[in-house]
Amino acid sequence: MEQQYQSSSEYLQAVINSLDDELIIIGQDFRITKVNAAVVKRHGGKRARVIGQYCYEVSHGTHEPCQPPSCECPVTRVWETGKPVRVTHTHRYDIGGESQEKYVDITASPLRDSQGNITEVVELIRDVTEAKRLTRQMREAHQNLLASRQELVRWNIDLENKIQQRIKELSALNAVVTTVSQSLNLDKILNDALLKILAVMEVEAGVVHLVDEKTDQLIIMVQRGLLPEYVREIMKLKPGAGIAGRVVQSGEPIVVNDAMDNPKSTTMVGKRGGFRAYISLPVKSKNKVLGTLSLASYTPNKFGLEAVRLLSAMGDAIGIGVENARATKRLEEANKIREQLLKKLISAQEEERRRIARELHDEASQSLAALALNLGAIADTLPVSYHDTRQKLDILKEQAIQTLGGIRNLALELRPIALDELGLPMAIDWYVKDYLVKRGLDVKIEVINPKTKLPSYTETMLFRIIQEALTNIVKHAEASKVRVQLQLSDSMAIVQVEDNGKGFEVEATPSREDTQRNLGIHGMAERATLLGGTFTIKSQLGQGTCLRVEVPLMEGNISHE
Ligand SMILES: Nc1ncnc2c1ncn2[C@@H]1O[C@H](COP(=O)(O)OP(=O)(O)OP(=O)(O)O)[C@@H](O)[C@H]1O
Ligand SMILES: [Mg+2]
For residue 90, the domain's CATH number is: 3.30.450.20
Which among 475, 484, 526, 548 is the best mutation to test ligand 1's pocket, defined by most ligand atoms within 8 Å of the CB? 475
Cα distance between residue 504 and residue 515, in whole Å: 18
Q: How far is the CA of 465 from the centre of ligand 2 (A)?
A: 10
Q: How far is the CA of 68 from the centre of ligand 2 (A)?
A: 121
- Cα dihedral: 317, 320, 325, 331 (round 10): -160
pLDDT at 139: 93
**Contact of 254 with 262, CB cutoff 8 Å:** no
Cβ neighbour number for residue 11 with a 10 Å cutoff: 15
**Contact of 482 with 499, CB cutoff 8 Å:** yes
Neighbours of ion ligand 2 (CB under 5 A): 472, 520
- CA nearest neighbour of 469 among 553, 544, 552, 561: 544
**Quick one: 236 and 366 in the same domain?**
no
- Helix (H, G, I), strand (E, B), or coil: what is residue 541? coil
Closest CA to ligand 1's atom 3: 477
pLDDT at 114: 92
Ligand having the closest approach to the CA of 506: 1
Which among 504, 516, 540, 547 is the best mutation to test ligand 1's pocket, defined by most ligand atoms within 8 Å of the CB? 504
**Quick one: 370 and 389 in the same domain?**
yes
Q: Using the atom order of ligand 1, give the atom closest to the CA of residue 506.
A: 12
Closest CA to ligand 1's atom 1: 473
What does the DSSP assignment read for 172-226?
Answer: HHHHHHHHHHT---HHHHHHHHHHHHHHHHT-SEEEEEEE-TTT--EEEEEEES-
User: Of 398, 415, 432, which one is at a domain's C-terminal end?
Assistant: 415
> 85-95 and 98-112: which strand pairing?
antiparallel
Domain CATH for 214: 3.30.450.40
Closest CA to ligand 1's atom 29: 518
Q: Using the atom order of ligand 1, give the atom closest to the CA of residue 519.
A: 26
**Quick one: 306 and 361 in the same domain?**
no
Residues near 560 by beta carbon (within 8 Å), at least 6 away in sequence: 343, 347, 455, 457
Q: How far is the CA of 504 from the centre of ligand 2 (A)?
A: 13
Cα distance between residue 496 and residue 446, in whole Å: 10
Cα distance between residue 436 and residue 476, in whole Å: 14
> 534-540 and 481-488: which strand pairing?
unpaired
Q: How far is the CA of 419 from the centre of ligand 2 (A)?
A: 21
Q: Tell me if 69 is assigned to some domain.
A: yes
pLDDT at 558: 43
**Helices assigned H by DSSP within 473-558:** 519-530, 555-558
Q: How far is the CA of 502 from the centre of ligand 1 (A)?
A: 12
**Quick one: 241 and 299 in the same domain?**
yes
Cα distance between residue 480 and residue 84, in whole Å: 132
Domain CATH for 519: 3.30.565.10
User: Of 382, 415, 448, which one is at a domain's C-terminal end?
Assistant: 415
pLDDT tens across the length of the chain (561 residues): 556 777 888 888 899 999 999 999 999 999 999 999 999 988 888 888 899 999 998 888 888 888 877 788 899 999 999 999 999 888 877 777 788 888 899 999 999 999 999 999 999 999 898 888 898 899 999 999 999 999 999 999 999 998 888 888 888 888 888 887 877 888 888 998 899 889 888 899 999 999 988 888 898 999 998 888 888 888 888 888 888 889 998 999 999 888 777 656 555 554 556 788 889 999 998 888 999 999 999 888 888 888 898 888 888 888 988 888 889 888 989 888 888 888 888 888 888 888 888 888 788 888 888 888 888 888 888 888 888 888 888 899 899 889 888 888 888 778 777 788 888 998 899 888 888 888 889 999 999 988 888 888 899 899 999 999 999 999 999 999 999 999 998 889 999 999 999 999 988 766 655 555 667 898 899 899 989 899 999 999 999 999 999 999 865 444 333
pLDDT at 383: 85
Q: Tell me if 190 is assigned to some domain.
A: no
From the DSSP assignment, how many helices (H) and strands (E) are in the chain? 16, 16
pLDDT at 561: 38
What is the reported pTM?
0.56
Cα distance between residue 150 and residue 509, in whole Å: 73
Ligand having the closest approach to the CA of 502: 1
pLDDT at 555: 58
User: Of 391, 415, 439, which one is at a domain's C-terminal end?
Assistant: 415
The C-alpha angle 311, 312, 315, rounded to 5 degrees, equals 85
Residue 292 has, within 13 A of its CA and on its CB side, a CA count of 34
The C-alpha angle 226, 229, 235, rounded to 5 degrees, equals 75
- Helix (H, G, I), strand (E, B), or coil: what is residue 81? helix
Q: How far is the CA of 475 from the centre of ligand 1 (A)?
A: 8
- CA nearest neighbour of 265 among 250, 274, 277, 253: 277
pLDDT at 60: 83
pLDDT at 560: 37
CB-defined site of ligand 1, < 6 Å:
472-473, 475-477, 499, 501-504, 509, 517-521, 545
Q: How far is the CA of 472 from the centre of ligand 2 (A)?
A: 5
Q: How far is the CA of 520 from the centre of ligand 1 (A)?
A: 7
pLDDT at 479: 94
pLDDT at 273: 62
Q: Using the atom order of ligand 1, give the atom closest to the CA of residue 523.
A: 18
Q: Using the atom order of ligand 1, give the atom closest to the CA of residue 545.
A: 1
The C-alpha angle 116, 120, 125, rounded to 5 degrees, equals 120
Cα distance between residue 209 and residue 190, in whole Å: 10
**Quick one: 298 and 308 in the same domain?**
yes
Where in the sequence is the domain holding 213, given as residue range(s)? Answer: 206-316
Q: How far is the CA of 519 from the centre of ligand 1 (A)?
A: 8
> Residue 104's beta-bridge partner residues?
89, 127
Cα distance between residue 240 and residue 250, in whole Å: 9
Which among 466, 468, 518 is the best mutation to test ligand 1's pocket, defined by most ligand atoms within 8 Å of the CB? 518
For 368, the enclosing helix (H) or strand (E) is helix 365-381
**Quick one: 411 and 424 in the same domain?**
no
**Quick one: 119 and 248 in the same domain?**
no
**Quick one: 550 and 425 in the same domain?**
yes
Q: Tell me if 323 is assigned to some domain.
A: no
Count of domains observed in the chain: 4
